[in-house]
Amino acid sequence: MDLQAYQTEGFHDELFDESLAPRPGAELLASRLAASSDGELAERQRAADKMLLTMGITFNVYGHEAGTEKIWPFDIVPRVIDAGEWSMIERGLKQRIHALNLFIDDVYNQRRIVTDGVVPDWLVDSGKCFRGPCAGLKPPRGVWCHITGTDLVRGGDGVMYVLEDNLRTPSGVSYVLENREVMKRTFPQLFAGQRISPVENYPEKLLAMLEYIAPPQARDPTVVVLTPGIYNSAYFEHSFLARQMGVELVQGSDLVVQGDVVFMRTTRGLERVDVIYRRIDDDFLDPLAFRDDSMVGVPGLMRAYRAGNVALVNAPGTGIADDKAVYAYVPQIIRYYLGEDAIIPNVPTYVCGEPTQCDHVLSKLGEFVVKPANESGGYGIVLGPRATKEQLEDCRARIKANPRNYIAQPMLSLSRVPTVVGDSLEGRHVDLRPFILYGEEIFVLPGGLTRVALVKGSLVVNSSQGGGSKDTWVVHEGRR
């Protein structure tokens, strides 16, 4: 196909520079795409779509009829990251997670960072995800945020920024693995002769981490994945991970706490559980400790956790570092605990809880992207430059009513990646979610999940709102 017809349209493109020369790492991919015959791309795309349907790789959309499963759209043109740049990203993520873990441990224990005036106390204590009951807790091996899915974006300036820290129950890693498998099966010739970092060992790394953080008395720890059930949007991933690790996938009703010890109900009676990779929010974990209307939790779980008889991943309370207002302070948090500058910068962020910053945001509301501090899935975000007058006024009213709950950032011009449209390629905006495991050491899965806004011109990459995904390659120099 003729790649010269492709247009970057003034955006930063991940595969090509302005003169349509392939960027470092993308040379072989570009030449293979250029060599593809007419109609081949569309045909490979169809094969990939069919494969996803047969494999039943789906997600559920909330707000639709229960059980509405959708195939998550996948685009067969991979996103390429040069190994040199990746090593910088990897170091930056390790630094960030290291500092955030120290921060979480601090705010639930000595609160030095608050006393020293680096992060204001009102910010921490008013956090929707701050969990009072977690004060004084010391999770096994001192790790709180075992699994993180940090969102990165590249702006029009070509710089990679951290957009948000997802430290609660980040999802998407199963698609990283499945996307790679689908790519290998439907477009194998793209891989030939290249050194691409493998992603397939993630489940083993995950299991090793989960076993590492088990309570010390558990010699041969039993690990389970706790899911809210098949109607949860990420159920596919929950079952995928359990299957890949060879551990049980349990629901709240499968677990029971007796004598502050957690058991699962099996066909042979009760069996002790040592580590729970829970994909349920803090709020719903234990109706006795948090929300008492939770139908998916396990009564008594927090008591067992507090007694040191079970490890929870991520630790309850970790969400405080996931707060988008706390995010604004992460560069200071890194400097405070590690004495280093952040390797990957934040997107400039205004915290509406700070009166002067709030005034600035309100005076130029139409220029900002406004986000609620504790939502996920892209819900509640207002894109100032694209909002109607009513939407802006509604947004203004909501900020004024609860300034603590909002932050504002400049509208970023997200980078793009060529994406299959019919039988040709057009640029579509992307972000990147690498996955980080914190066990005996910090491990960053090479690449991560590239989400793509499939709608022309759209900046919204969320699966619930018309986004899709791409395979993500960390490509090393030199032919294999």
Partner 1 sequence: MLSRVADSVYWMNRQIERAENVARAVETTLDLALDGTISPGRLWNALVCTFGDEADFWARFGLADQANVISFLAFDQTNPNSIASCLQAARENARTVRDMISTPMWEEINKAHLYVRSAAAANAEIDHPREFLDEVKRASQLITGVADATMSHGEAWHFARMGRLIERADKTSRVLDVEHYFQPAAVRATRPAGGAADESDEVAVQWSAVLESASALEMYRKVHGAVSRRSVADFLIFDREFPRAMHFCLIKAEESLLAITGGSKGSYTNPAEQRLGRLRSNLNYGAIDEILGAESGLHGFIDGFQTSLNQASEAIFATFFALQPVGSSGQEA
Minimum Å gap between C-beta 233 and partner 1 is 14
Q: Is residue 54 at the binding interface for partner 1, with CB under 8 A as the rule?
A: yes
Per-residue CA distances from 280 to 39, 132, 226, 294 (Å): 44, 18, 7, 10
Q: Is residue 40 at the binding interface for partner 1, with CB under 8 A as the rule?
A: no
Determine which residue in the list 288, 381, 455, 460 makes contact with partner 1, applying CB under 8 A.
288
Determine which residue in the list 228, 300, 317, 384 makes contact with partner 1, applying CB under 8 A.
300
Per-residue CA distances from 318 to 98, 107, 147, 211 (Å): 13, 10, 10, 19
Q: Which of residues 190-229 bind partner 1 (CB under 8 A)?
A: 225, 229
Taking the mean position of all CA atoms in its chain, how far away is CA 169? Answer: 8
Cα(421)–Cα(454) distance, integer angstroms = 9
Q: Which is nearer to partner 1, 162 or 173 (CB)?
A: 173
Per-residue CA distances from 247 to 96, 131, 184, 242, 289 (Å): 30, 29, 26, 5, 27
| SS3 (DSSP) at 408 | strand
Per-residue CA distances from 412 to 159, 161, 284, 350, 376 (Å): 11, 10, 35, 14, 19
Q: Which of residues 65-104 bind partner 1 (CB under 8 A)?
A: 67
Q: Is residue 293 at the binding interface for partner 1, with CB under 8 A as the rule?
A: no
Q: Which of residues 253-272 bind partner 1 (CB under 8 A)?
A: 253-254, 256-261, 264-267, 269
Q: Which is nearer to partner 1, 134 or 249 (CB)?
A: 249
Among 53-61, 392-400, 406-414, 458-466, the segment contacting partner 1 (CB under 8 A): 53-61
Minimum Å gap between C-beta 285 and partner 1 is 14
Neighbours of 334 (CB within 10 A): 24
Q: Which is nearer to partner 1, 70 or 265 (CB)?
A: 265
Minimum Å gap between C-beta 258 and partner 1 is 4
Cα(425)–Cα(115) distance, integer angstroms = 54
Among 242-250, 365-373, 415-423, 432-440, the segment contacting partner 1 (CB under 8 A): 242-250
Minimum Å gap between C-beta 246 and partner 1 is 9
Per-residue CA distances from 420 to 73, 74, 417, 424 (Å): 11, 10, 10, 6
Instruction: Give the amino acid at 429.
Output: H
Q: Is residue 413 at the binding interface for partner 1, with CB under 8 A as the rule?
A: no
Q: Is residue 355 at the binding interface for partner 1, with CB under 8 A as the rule?
A: no
Minimum Å gap between C-beta 300 and partner 1 is 6
Instruction: Give the amino acid at 423.
Output: D
Determine which residue in the list 1, 20, 55, 362 makes contact with partner 1, applying CB under 8 A.
55
Taking the mean position of all CA atoms in its chain, how far away is CA 454? Answer: 19
Q: Is residue 299 at the binding interface for partner 1, with CB under 8 A as the rule?
A: yes
Query: Under 8 Å CB-to-CB from 416, ≥6 apart: which residues?
Result: 8, 11, 12, 13, 14, 427, 428, 429, 430
DSSP 214: S
Neighbours of 372 (CB within 10 A): 18
Instruction: Give the amino acid at 375.
Output: E
Q: Is residue 243 at the binding interface for partner 1, with CB under 8 A as the rule?
A: yes
Determine which residue in the list 8, 251, 332, 374 makes contact with partner 1, applying CB under 8 A.
251
Q: Which is nearer to partner 1, 184 or 243 (CB)?
A: 243
Q: Is residue 382 at the binding interface for partner 1, with CB under 8 A as the rule?
A: no
Q: Which residues bind partner 1 (CB under 8 A)?
A: 53-56, 67, 225, 229-230, 235-236, 239-240, 242-243, 247-251, 253-254, 256-261, 264-267, 269, 288, 299-300, 303
